[in-house]
Structure 1
Amino acid sequence: MILIQSWQQASKNAHAIRKQVFIEEQGVPQELELDEFDPLCWHALAFEGTQCIGTGRLVAMGVNEGQIGRMAVLPCFRGKGTGKAILLKLIKLAQSQNISSLMLHSQVLAIPFYEKYGFTPQGPIYEEAGIDHRNMIILLPISH
């Protein structure tokens, strides 16, 4: 089950997932993990029963533009479709908000995952929080 929540509703579960995946597993500095965008985002939370197992977020960045970020799934739940379900829920949410262009900062190792869902790499590889990333974009049909 994937729920869409405000930061106020999602912060406890989303931060717990992101702390485990980004800070503890990947070594992202704690001060970079939470940012000023969290309160402005819609947060997707994946649940297995009552346990939150994954998260992602969507923020509107401008007229018809959005950005997906902070996609994370707990290690023991990876490879079971949770990331796909979170991503597709965020894409559907973006369309419902008339967002026609979605961007994300993909870790280089995750590029093939996002390509499966229509995202295209753009620009050079760069370092973010000590990890190689590349921007990716998808253009969405607007739902009426």
Structure 2
Amino acid sequence: MTAAGGVSCRVAEGRADLDACFAVRKEVFVAEQGVPEDLEYDAYDQGAVHVLAVSREDGAPLGTGRLLTGEAAAAKNGGDATVGALGRLAVLRSARGLGAGAALVRAIEDAARERGLAAVDLHAQTQALGFYERLGYEAYGPEFPDAGIPHRAMRKALR
């Protein structure tokens, strides 16, 4: 479990945690950003490591993210199974600025280290590049659209 301020993060366990993760994603990506629901949920969700951020005060869900490993990660990062794929990072509007996003990234990196991965790749919305750069990620390659939103690939080596 990773904690930051009033936020704690844990790997999702059980149906209630997964439902909370998917509810946060629906609120942020589908309702707020207009991503079609059939694009938001995919076949990778089944085998992913989902991480949930909750309020330390009342346990309310605040954010989520997922880690893909093995073949699923390799499909996202160009074929390298030693590199995990961080994705679907979402923090509820009411929880932004509390450190939930950074805590989620650290928790996902911890999960990647526990699985022996050498690095983590992600596809960042271009408006979030600075956030990930502050956490040690470096952008590479050209900008590309994902669900109609501009993105850049980023990577961080794990130590």
Pick from 42, 54, 65: which aligns with 1:56? 65
> Which residue of the other structure, out of 10, 14, 21, is the alignment partner of 1:3?
10
Quote the offset at 1:131 in angstroms.
0.5
Q: Which runs of 5+ in 2 are unaligned?
A: 1-7, 75-80
Q: Which amino acid aligns with 1:134?
A: R
Alpha-carbon separation, structure 2, partners of 1:36 and 1:7: 18
Partner of 1:19: 26
> 3-state DSSP class of the match of 1:22?
helix
Gaps of 5+ in 1: none
For residues 1-144 of structure 1, the aligned pairs below 5 Å read: 1-5=8-12, 8=15, 10-48=17-55, 49-60=58-69, 61-62=73-74, 63-141=81-159
SS in 2 for 1:93: helix
Q: How many residues align?
A: 141
**What is the Cα deviation at residue 101 of structure 1?**
1.8
RMSD: 1.3
Cα-to-partner distance string for 1:62-120 (whole Å, 9 max, x where unaligned): 53211000000000110110001000011111111110021001000000000011100
DSSP 3-state at the match of 2:155: strand
* TM-score, normalization by structure 2: 0.84
Provide the identity percentage. 36
